[in-house]
Amino acid sequence: MNLPSSPHLVVYADESSNSGQNLLDPDQPVFTVAGIHLPDELAASIVDEVRAQLPPTQGEPKYGSLARSARGRKALMRAFEQLPEGSTRSYVVDKQFMVVTKMVDVLVEPLAHSVGHNLYEGKEALALAEILHMGGPVLGDTTAYQKLLKGFVDWVRQKVTTDDLFAILTAYRDSVATQQGDFAGLVDLLTYSRSVADETASDIAAGREPDLLDPAVPSLYCLGHSFGESIGQFRLVHDASKVIDRNEALLRMTHLDLARPGELMKPFPATQIDFADSRDHPQLQLADWIAGAARQWASHLAVGGGDRFSQELEATVRPWVVDAIWPASPERWQAIDHDDDGQP
């Protein structure tokens, strides 16, 4: 990709629909983070052109307000048309599927690791999450499955006890017919993870896992690496975000796999993380529009519905998506091609 030259390599980022650890908020099924690497002059000219098409009394043009009017939608599409190829990237998260991946990561993976099996090697953890996500509502009682997802989220958020979580899990397991074979075995693994859950609950209560379910940090980590592969190290300017501010040190330490001491991950390519107000940086205003458009389109894929504009965004948004936490089933991710590990 040919990115525009800049005397200072800076990536600007913003989020859309972050409900924190409340991943089952029905009004916000999708989370997105978007980044943009663009010279100041070009970013300012694009934003100024949009502002010129709006009433002079309107304040900062946020994506939500722009997307509600025909004039605003036209201005957005004109702005997107002016973005150079490769300058814009986004990462999207299906929040309900993230709950399932976290159940596998938090409960099943440590159990497997304790007996010498690495579920991350060969993408087995992802495969187990896919099986649980696709089979959960149909191979067991649908209502019991939804209660299981909610119970897990509530447990991480310390709204229910570990005893409560395993009572919910047992009720779901009882609804799964024994002849379901491998699927029943996967659910059994969850029921065998009580010792892991007790240890994790202690960590959560002690404040050592404050953002276990928040999608912002892992999404930004992946988005940053996508930019890093093209432009090398850069300074990151992020719209005000308490969770990113709280986890800045963690992002800087991700070259050490905190889940598996001694194992290495790619270092985060941002040499510095700053926080700023979007009113002071046209790139952050653009990042807000990009994140909002990606969220609106992806929400249409996740739950259906939405207006015609949600569908029209596909041709524009699809090239921005660099990665996702998303189920690979075609009906849920129909506009993205996946390779064999379930990622776009």
Q: Determine whether 274 is exposed, middle or buried from the number of CB atoms within 10 Å of its CB (0-12, 13-18, 19+).
A: exposed
Model pLDDT, residue 8: 63
Report the C-alpha gap between 216 and 326 in whole angstroms: 15
Report the C-alpha gap between 1 and 20 in whole angstroms: 33
Q: What is the mean pLDDT of the chain?
A: 89
Query: E strands, the chain, where?
Result: 10-16, 30-36, 88-94, 234-239, 270-276, 321-325
Q: What's the farthest any 2 CA atoms get from each other in the chain? A: 66
The string of pLDDT tens digits covering residues 39-67 is 999 999 999 999 998 887 777 899 999 99
The string of pLDDT tens digits covering residues 237-282 is 999 999 999 999 888 776 545 444 445 578 899 999 999 999 899 9
Cα 270 off chain centre by = 19
The pLDDT of 179-208, averaged and rounded, is 93
Query: Of 165, 162, 161, whose CA–CA distance to 149 is shortest?
Result: 165
Model pLDDT, residue 263: 55
Report the C-alpha gap between 226 and 211 in whole angstroms: 23
Give the count of beta carbons closer than 10 Å to the beta carbon of residue 328.
Answer: 21
3 state DSSP class of 279: helix
Q: How far is CA 142 from CA 145, 246, 299, 326, 332, in A?
A: 5, 37, 22, 20, 18
Residue 1 has pLDDT above 90, yes or no: no
| pTM of structure | 0.89
What is the band of 141 on the pLDDT scale with cuts at 50, 70, 90? very high
Task: Quickly list DSSP for 174-227.
Answer: HHS-GGGTHHHHHHHHHHT-HHHHHHHHHHHHTTS-TTTT-SHHHHHHHHHHHH
Model pLDDT, residue 87: 97
Cα 112 off chain centre by = 25
What is the band of 340 on the pLDDT scale with cuts at 50, 70, 90? very low
User: CA neighbours within 13 Å on the CB side: how many for 44?
Assistant: 5
Place of tokens 């663009």: 38
Residue 342 has pLDDT above 70, yes or no: no
Report the C-alpha gap between 47 and 59 in whole angstroms: 13
**Range with lowest mean pLDDT among 69-78, 144-153, 204-213, 321-330:** 321-330
Tokens of 249: 């040190």
Contact predicate 270/234, CB 8 Å: yes
Query: Of 282, 273, 284, 207, whose CA–CA distance to 244 is shortest?
Result: 273
Model pLDDT, residue 179: 75
Angle between helices 194-205 and 162-175 (to 10 degrees): 150
The string of pLDDT tens digits covering residues 4-28 is 434 469 999 999 999 999 999 999 9
Q: Which residue has the higher pLDDT, 279 or 99?
A: 99
Model pLDDT, residue 264: 59
The string of pLDDT tens digits covering residues 324-335 is 999 985 444 444
Strand ranges of the sheet holding 270-276, from the earlier edge strand across to the other edge: 270-276, 234-239, 10-16, 30-36, 88-94, 321-325
Give the count of beta carbons closer than 10 Å to the beta carbon of residue 43.
Answer: 22
The string of pLDDT tens digits covering residues 145-191 is 999 999 999 999 999 999 999 999 999 999 998 777 889 999 999 99
